[in-house]
Amino acid sequence: MLESNRNTGQTISSRDMLFGDLSLEYWAAVDSSDIPWNLFKDAKKSVAIGNSLDAVETLKKITCIPGLESRQYLQAYHFINELQGFSEDEIKLFGVVVEVSMPEGHDTLAIYADYSARYYNYSGNAITWEHGDNSLDQQIDTILKQGMDIVAKIGPWKDARPGPPGTKMARINFLTSHGLHFGEANQQALFNDALAGKIMYAMLDVMQALTSKTQLPDTEVATL
């Protein structure tokens, strides 16, 4: 599944939309003048004239605005990190993305601190959850708490975000204010891991809850 931004001509995959690490050019070209989009546009203008300090200050304003989408915070931190490196501030976890290789493709589930979720089935079917009710809140809170325990033990990934995991592999991506952290292993090994396994099974429960809310036609889901 691909999405295109008319203002930049860039076409990216729906998977790329999950991680909060798109380019400033793409993100600032969103056709809206509302907060925080106007601030992203201001930051891009500052970068264009070589004023990185002003851009960082503008982006920091976004991180302090309450009630935004998790991916908006992630994008603001992503650009700040690109412009000045990681800060010494406390790491914040805004989302978890689990990717599981299937024989026909990949199952991908993303949950966020704003209680939204995205599920992309290998078949091409998808579910978008925009916090329609509070039924998933406790599960998401638990996953984020467990995720922080793992983030505290691993450092950020400093290279370009890798593509989807290979055959029989699974990956847990942690989306933080200090960049991407992830763990990858054979699927069964990840489910059996003392720390990662808790998140894998909790994410599986969320996926099954989502599919029960919105029945996908002709779709099988991971049952590891």
- In terms of domains, do 196 and 97 share one? yes
Radius of gyration, CA atoms only, the chain: 18
The answer to the question of residue 198 being in a domain is yes
- In terms of domains, do 101 and 77 share one? no
- In terms of domains, do 21 and 99 share one? no
Token look-up 């309450």 returns 66
- Number of domains forming the structure of the chain: 2
| Residue at which a domain ends, from 39, 67, 84 | 84
- Global model pTM greater than 0.85: yes
| Residue at which a domain ends, from 84, 105, 131 | 84
Q: E strand or H helix at 13, and its extent? A: strand 10-13
CA triple 116-101-203, angle to 5 deg: 35
The answer to the question of residue 76 being in a domain is yes
The answer to the question of residue 224 being in a domain is no
Token look-up 């059996």 returns 192
- In terms of domains, do 64 and 170 share one? no
pLDDT digits (tens, 9 = 90+) for 47-80: 999 999 999 999 999 999 999 999 999 999 999 9
* DSSP code, position 34: S
- In terms of domains, do 114 and 201 share one? yes
**What is the pLDDT at residue 218?**
42
**What is the pLDDT at residue 113?**
98
- In terms of domains, do 32 and 52 share one? yes
**What is the pLDDT at residue 109?**
98
- In terms of domains, do 77 and 154 share one? no
Low-confidence residues of the chain: pLDDT under 50: 1-8, 217-224
Residue type present at position 153? K
The answer to the question of residue 223 being in a domain is no
The answer to the question of residue 221 being in a domain is no
The answer to the question of residue 42 being in a domain is yes
Distance CA(20)–CA(94), nearest Å, equals 10
- In terms of domains, do 16 and 80 share one? yes
| Residue at which a domain ends, from 57, 84, 111 | 84
- In terms of domains, do 47 and 77 share one? yes
Distance CA(74)–CA(146), nearest Å, equals 19
**What is the pLDDT at residue 9?**
54
- In terms of domains, do 184 and 151 share one? yes
- In terms of domains, do 69 and 100 share one? no
- In terms of domains, do 108 and 78 share one? no
Residues spanned by the domain of 125: 93-213
The answer to the question of residue 138 being in a domain is yes
Phi, psi of 108 (to 5 degrees): -135, 125
Q: Where do the H-state alpha helices sit in the chain?
A: 24-28, 37-48, 52-63, 70-84, 137-151, 187-192, 196-213
The answer to the question of residue 187 being in a domain is yes
Q: Is the dihedral of CA 102, 173, 53, 68 positive or negative?
A: positive
